[in-house]
Structure 1
Amino acid sequence: MGHIVLDRMGRLGRFLWSGWVGVAGLALFAALWQQGHEAYGDFILPSPLATFDATVALLKSDETWRLAGATTLRALEGFALTALLGGVLGLAVGYSAAAMRLARPLLTIIMGVPPIAWIVLAMIWFGSTAGTILTTTVVASFPLVFANVAEAVATRDRALEDMAKAFGAGPLQRLWTIVIRHVTGQYFPALAVALGSTFKVAVMAELLANIDGIGVALAMSRSNLDVAQSIAWVVLIVAVIFVVEYGIVHPIRAELERWRDAARPWGIKR
């Protein structure tokens, strides 16, 4: 038990230490942002400090938490459904070359339709309800996850599966130890992209369908020509995405990909 706890703490420490690179990237982004502010002025691009003050002011309001919570819940529902459907269906289709050929043109059609067109259609079908947001977020993100998982399954090492079968590994054991571990290398990067897409599409759907959430708040700040507050809402959206990605998605990926530690300098010595 103590060895497991120490292993978890070690991997958590490495994960947190690697965050310094991300902090450096954010600092560089803030510096470029400041340069843009000095070049174009407050009305076009408020300074990072002014945006920070506007963000803090928003966080002091209970209404902000309510709107952000509503948007986050809708986006996470769409993201969870995308992760589930994309993973399960991609896993199933990847085993069949005929199903892959059948699915490719359908994915092209779905991905070829702009998200705003799906929003308009969903508004006609479901009206200004959560169903509009759920439909558009799933349609916008599902093809990416599905295609990555299906392609990963199709390109799995069949010789390795045959070897495992020869040593007596059953279908479920081969699925878990070989296929799933191979698929995670493409599944989780696709989920990271899908996460950002679901939030972007959710906010856009709220704005166009006039559904209570961050989208409506953005529309109000736009009508008031309050650029700092508009960017502050964007900062809140990005912050939520950071929390979900690095607080949920990446820890799950690290747990499923512990075997990669063996290839690192501090891993198992060969």
Structure 2
Amino acid sequence: MTGSMSSDRLWRAVQDRAGRIGRFLWSGWAGLAGLALFGALWQAGFEAYGEFILPAPLATLDAARGLLADGAARAVLWLTVLRALAGFAACAVIGTAAGVAAGYSPATLRLARPVLTVLLGVPPIAWIVLAMLWFGSSAATVAATIVVSTLPVVFSGAVEGVVTRDRGLDQMAEVFGAGPVRRAFLAGRQIAAHLLPALVLALGSSFKVAVMAELLANAGGVGGALARSRAMLDVAGALAWVCLAVAALIVVEYLLIRPVQAELERWRVAAAPWGVKR
């Protein structure tokens, strides 16, 4: 009897997991529709302004396909992706730890708010110039610029998650005998509701800042390739590099963050009225 009940629970868990994976994959059609609309607008711009101003989408995709077929170009793209991920990882760890600590300490939060205002007020290009003076044209310049530029976003998301959590849930869990680890896990799920959108924004900013820092610091990568395309007036090549960088960002986001977000925010689906689709 016990074995039958265990197999039933396992089967229901497998069905639930398969259903959530199917819903996650099916939701990609909306994203594809948005990309198709963007492509249509791009094609309209090409027909209105000509190839020199805005090359056709198919020509740009052909150029991007040619770059992916080139091993040296793939190495350039991979270099930028690694730099962006390194800066994002450092930002995520430092920003989350500092934000959670500040959220639980009102005095620390009051001290940190002016620092956040200063960091947000300095544009990323200024940090790039300072990082070039400190580290030269190296990967450290790119990583430092990413961390300083995106840290306030992750910090604010972690703080907001801690401050707005439902303290009654923690008290209820304690009444029902939940230990510190279980209560910390419950609080973590509430914090993630604000932290994960901040991480998505920080990831996108990491790729943008990485390319910009590489371009201005002449540090290679996609930014260096864009500088060469600009010097050669190769608009199609420049757009191809931009498309590859954006594609890499989408792949990383939907492999790294979105599955975790979907897993931790199952309560949003459970709390929605029956038949409501987002």
Give the TM interval when normalised to the shorter protein. Answer: over 0.9
Q: Distance in 2 between matches of 1:247 and 1:152?
A: 23
Provide, for residues 45-79 of structure 1, a one-character-per-residue CA deviation record: whole Å limited to 9, x for no partner.
Answer: 11111111111111111111100011100100011
Alignment of 1:191-230 (within 5 A): 191-230=199-238
Q: Distance in 1 between matches of 2:269 and 2:156?
A: 27
Shift of 1:227: 0.3
Q: Distance in 1 between matches of 2:271 and 2:176?
A: 24
Question: What SS does the corresponding residue of 1:132 show, helix, strand or coil?
Answer: helix
Match of 1:29 in 2: 38
Q: Can you give the 5+ residue segments of structure 1 that lack an aligned partner in the other structure?
A: none
Shift of 1:165: 2.4
Shift of 1:142: 0.8
Q: Distance in 1 between matches of 2:35 and 2:142?
A: 30
Query: 1:102 corresponds to which letter in structure 2?
Result: L
Shift of 1:2: 4.2
Shift of 1:17: 0.8
Q: Distance in 1 between matches of 2:100 and 2:176?
A: 24
Moved more, 236-245 or 96-105: 96-105
Provide, for residues 106-150 of structure 1, a one-character-per-residue CA deviation record: whole Å limited to 9, x for no partner.
Answer: 000011111011111111111111111110001111100101110
Match of 1:137 in 2: 146
User: Taking structure 2 as the reference length, what is the TM-score of the superposition?
Assistant: 0.91
Match of 2:85 in 1: 76
User: What is the aligned counterpart of 2:163 among 154, 160, 163?
Assistant: 154
Provide, for residues 209-246 of structure 1, a one-character-per-residue CA deviation record: whole Å limited to 9, x for no partner.
Answer: 11121110000001000001100000000000100111
User: What is the aligned counterpart of 2:52 among 7, 32, 43?
Assistant: 43
Shift of 1:160: 2.3
Provide, for residues 12-63 of structure 1, a one-character-per-residue CA deviation record: whole Å limited to 9, x for no partner.
Answer: 1111111111111111111111111111111111111111111111111111
Instruction: Kindly report structure 1 stretches of 4+ aligned residues shifted beyond 4 Å.
Output: 264-267
Query: 1:115 corresponds to which letter in structure 2?
Result: P
Alignment of 1:1-270 (within 5 A): 1-177=10-186, 179-264=187-272
Q: Distance in 1 between matches of 2:24 and 2:136?
A: 43
Q: Distance in 2 between matches of 1:94 and 1:73?
A: 31
Q: Distance in 2 between matches of 1:201 and 1:261?
A: 34
* Count of paired positions: 266
Shift of 1:265: 6.0
Percent identical among aligned pairs is: 59
Shift of 1:155: 1.6
Match of 2:6 in 1: none
Match of 2:7 in 1: none
Question: What SS does the corresponding residue of 1:46 show, helix, strand or coil?
Answer: coil
Question: What SS does the corresponding residue of 1:225 show, helix, strand or coil?
Answer: coil
Shift of 1:166: 2.7
Moved more, 93-102 or 137-146: 93-102
Q: Distance in 2 between matches of 1:264 and 1:112?
A: 38
Q: Distance in 2 between matches of 1:33 and 1:252?
A: 32
Query: 1:238 corresponds to which letter in structure 2?
Result: V
Provide, for residues 137-192 of structure 1, a one-character-per-residue CA deviation record: whole Å limited to 9, x for no partner.
Answer: 01111100101110220121122222222333333321211x21111111111111
Question: What SS does the corresponding residue of 2:257 show, helix, strand or coil?
Answer: helix
> CA-atom RMSD, angstroms?
1.6
